[in-house]
Structure 1
């Protein structure tokens, strides 16, 4: 098993998104720019190590958008260091790469229609354009949500 993180706090999302499959990796991140940069690098390096160079750039962009949403809407408001962290999960089965971000907020992402010159509001449009599908599962125990996107491997 290729698990890069031990002691995952939200184990249920990992099981649902691929923990236990041969190609699964997880990375904890915070809202800091250094942490987000490291998570993007982790995504690209993990997919490349799995021989998935052809989708590594798109998956890294999708993961970056999901992590940015988590950092902006779920982590920035948290003052507790443990609560102010989220998890990125990557898995690959058959011909699908799944990028999942689990964060402590139950606020679902939404696609917005904004002014084309606006500075923000395009994240989920990018995810929609690059992925086969995406969705959001709110944790049953009320500890947040997992936003996932499936990409062609």
Structure 2
């Protein structure tokens, strides 16, 4: 009799989804991707385009990415999974192209056995993607001005 054992924390199968897309993102997709029978806590974060920034009205954002951005997201997720032994599964998506207020720009999920490490790892994953992945944000303000925002890489 053979049984299938789910991947354990820290294995290559831990990163279930890592992508950069032009299509709309779904919280359900990242949540489903990290499903794991040993998970007792799953944290999901969806970052959306808001209607303001630094006291100014915002009407839209346009994200562009380096061709290696998707590879970089996967590397970050793999590294985090290796560093945090509680992680059972990880999924991360970032959108590029033109987005309007309310659109999801990033969706990530992390599954662990308990809630605290899920919350901590989810936050850390978002921060690393934001600061280490070559994705650039061009913001359009309601007054018609445009500006590159947080372009540090």
TM-score higher than 0.5 here?
no
Larger Rg: 2
- TM bin, normalised by shorter chain, reads 0.3 to 0.5
Structure (1/2) with the larger helix percentage: 1
